[in-house]
Amino acid sequence: MIIFPCTLRFIALSIGRSVPSLRGKHWSFCQTRSRRSGSAGVSSYLLETSKQQLQKYRDQERCFKREVRDAYQRFSEVPDNTVIQGRHHVYFEEGGNIYRMRIGQGGQDVQDILDTSSGGCLQRVRLSPGEHALAATVKDSGSEEAKCLVLRLGDPPDPPRLLLQLDGVFSFEWASDDVLFFTSMEDLRSCRVFRLDLRKPKPQAVLVYEERDPEFFVEVSCTRDRNLVTLNCNNKSTSEVWLVEADAPLACPRLIQPRISGLIYHVEHTGKQLYILANTAPGQEYQVLSAPLASPGMESWVPVFTPDVGTGLKDMEVVQDHCVLAVRTPAGPLGLQVVPLADPSQVYTVKLPLWACEFESRPCLGLDSPAFQFSLSSPVQPPLQFSYCLRERQLFVEEATAGPPLLEHHTARLEARSQDGTLVPMTVFHRAPWGNLKGAPLLLHVYGAYGLHLNMAFCPEKRLLLEDGWVLAYCHVRGGGEHGLGWHQAGSFLQKHKGLEDLASCIRHLYQLGVSQPALANLSTRSAGAVLAGALCNQYPELLRTVSLQAPFLDVLGTMQDPNLPLTIEDRGEWGDPLADTHQRDTVASYCPCHNIKPQRYPSMLITAYEGDRRVPLEGVLRYAERLVAAAHADIGGATTPGSKTPPSVILDLQPGGDHFGPDDLEVSLNETARHLAFLYGELGLDRGRHKD
C-alpha cells in the first residue's frame, strides 16, 4: 500500500469513530501540538455561560446518548479490516485485545495474544513474515505517546512471550522475523529510524537514518509483497525514499532518488521492479512509472500509466502483475483503474457502487492470490467487503458483511460553480424526494486542507440523522485532494481564500436547488476544517444557523508566527510564513477566523476543545471564543434586559484531558456525540423523529 505524506497537524476525522485497517497507517482512532494545556486565563464568564447553555440540553443529551449507543450496538457486528492472516493463524482484535485462531479451525481454539483493554488504545499491529513475532503500539489514554510491545510467538498452547517495550514509537515494520525497523516520535516530529535485531542476546536499537531538515517527517512502511522496507521522508511538497531489502535487513538503506524540491514520489515493488507513483505528469499530477530495483534513480523512470487530469487518487496497490489504482473520477464516484503491467495500454476501469465514498484496501492473503480485496463505505453505509478477481475481471461482494439494512435513500453527486467559475463537487445524501427538501434540516461538512480527501467513512450518528430526515452534504472544496494534487495547490498557501469561496458557493447552490434553508442549516467540521468554517462565519454568517467545531484550528496567524510551536515550521507549506513575508502575512490575516471577528449576528456555535490537545494551541481556541462572545454582545448593543435581542449561543465545551482526536474512552465519546446532536436539535427547535416521514 502506498504511504502518502503524513499530515503533521491534522487528520480529517468525523465525530464518529472508525477502525482503519491493521495494515494501514493507523489502527484505531488514536494518533497525533501544544502550546499549553489547562484552562488558566479563560474568562470565568465564558465558562459559566457555556455551562449554563449546555445544561438546557441535558435531557436531550441523555436521550441521544441512548440512541447513539443503540446505533453503535446495531453495527457492532459489522466486520471491519482489523484482521491479519499469517501463515498458520488469523489474528484479530476485539475489545482492545488481540487474539488468534488457526486457519480452518473456525472459532475453535482461540488464543489470547495481547491484552491492552486496561492499558490504553491499540493503534497499529504488524506480524513478522514467518509469523514468529508480533509488534503492536498502544497509546496511553489522554496522551499521544505510544509504546511498542514486541512479542515472540510460539505454537499453541505455548503462550506468546513479551520480549521488550519501546517507548515513543510512531511507525514500524518487520524486515524479517528477527529485524524490526521503527521511527521515534519527539515533540510531534518523527525524524529518526532505528533497527532492532532480536537475534542478539540483549537487543539494542541502532540508528540507521536521521532527518535533519525540520520541515520533513519520516515514517517506515513496507511494500505489499513485503520484499522491501521503505523509509519515507516527506514535507508538504517534496519526498525522498530509502529502501532496505528484506533478504539483507542489516544492510545500509539505499536511496531511490535524492529529493528535488517539488518532486513527490511513493514506491511499490514486484519482481525486482519498482513501481513509482510520482507527480511527474503534466501539471505536476501523479502518474505511475517503473524502474529496475538495481537502478532506481529518476534517470531510469519509465512512464507506465497517467490518470486523466482531475482524477483524485485514494490508493495504489501492485497485485501480481497488475497495478490497481483506487480513484475518485472527475465526475465524482469512486472506481478502480487496473493497469496490466505486461501491457499498460490495456488499462481498464472497474465501476464501484455509486454510494461508495470511502475505500480501504485489505491485507494481501498471499502473493499468488488473484484477488484484490478491499472495503467500501459511506457516512451512512457500514463497510462492505469486496473482492475483485483480476483473472476473471469480476467484482464480488460479501453480502454477510452488510449489517442491518439501510433505509432507502439517495446519493446525489452535484457541482457548484464557484466565484471564479470552477466547478466544485458535492456529495449529498437524502431520503425524501428531491422536491421535498426545502424544510429538511441540513448538516454540511467541509475540510479543504493538506490535500486530504474529506472524511466520509461510516458514522452511526450520521445514519441516525439520515433516518430522521436530515440532508447530509459534503463539500469537496479546493485545498483537499478530491481532484488531484492541483486541487490541493489551488486552495492552499496564498490561495486559501478559494476554499472559502467554494464553500459559500456550495451552500448557496443547495438553497437554489431547493435543499433546506439558512434557518435549518448546520456546518460541522474539525481541526483545519475550522479555518474555512470560521472564515465563512465572519464573511457570510447569514448562510448558517449553527456551527459545531471539534478541536478547531482558529488562530492561524498567531500560530504561524510562533516558530517555537512544534509544528509551525512543518506547516509553512500549507499556510505560508507570515514572519518572513509580509504578503503571506497579509494573506493569512485576511481569512484567519480569530482576527476577522466583528459585531454582527453569528450562527450559534458549539466549540469542543481538549486541554491535552498538542496540535492546536488551546490559547487560540479560547481567544477566538472570547472574541466571538464579545462581538455577539456588541451586535445587540450589550443589552440583556427582558425583551431585548438575544445573542446567539456560543458554547465552549472544554474537555479535560484528551488529545487532538478527542477521547479514547467510548463512554466519553458517546457523551460528546450526544451533546453535539442535542445542540443541533435544540438550536433548531426540532424534536427527534419529526422529520422521519
Which of 361, 516, 527, 669 is catalytic? The answer is 527
Please report, in angstroms and rounded to a whole number, the separation of the first and last CA atoms in the chain: 44
Which of 80, 178, 613, 659 is catalytic? The answer is 613
Do residues 26 and 661 lie in contact, with contact meaning Cβ atoms separated by under 8 Å? no
**CB contact burial 236-252 (16+ within 10 A = b; e otherwise):** bbbbbbbbbebeebeee
- Residue 211 CA, chain-centre distance (Å), reads 25
Q: In angstroms, rounded to a whole number, what is the distance separating the alpha carbons of residues 309 and 109? A: 52
Categorise residue 98: left if φ over 0, alpha if ψ from -120 to 50, beta otherwise.
Answer: beta
Tell me, yes or no, if 527 is annotated catalytic: yes
Q: In angstroms, rounded to a whole number, what is the distance separating the alpha carbons of residues 569 and 592? A: 18
Which of 660, 669, 676, 691 is catalytic? The answer is 660
The residues, ordered by sequence, that sit 6+ positions from 8 with a Cβ below 8 Å of its Cβ are 188, 189, 217, 567, 570, 571
Distances in Å between the alpha carbon of 504 and those of 512, 519, 600, 676? 12, 16, 18, 23
Q: In angstroms, rounded to a whole number, what is the distance separating the alpha carbons of residues 211 and 392? A: 45
Residue with cell 513479551: 162
User: What is the SS3 assignment for 345?
Assistant: helix
List the helix and strand counts (H, then E) for the chain. 11, 36
**How many CB atoms sit inside 10 A of residue 439's CB?**
12
| Kind of pairing between the strands at 312-319 and 322-328 | antiparallel
Q: In angstroms, rounded to a whole number, what is the distance separating the alpha carbons of residues 329 and 312? A: 6
What phi, psi does 507 have (nearest 5°)?
Answer: -65, -45
DSSP 592-660: -GGG---SS-PPEEEEEEETT-SSS-HHHHHHHHHHHHHHHHHHTTT--STTSPPPPPEEEEEESS-BT
Q: Which element (helix H / strand E) includes 70? A: helix 58-74
Among the residues of 468-606, which ranges form H helices? 485-489, 496-512, 529-539, 556-560, 572-575, 582-591
One-letter amino acid for residue 328 of the chain: R
Catalytically active residues are 527, 613, 660
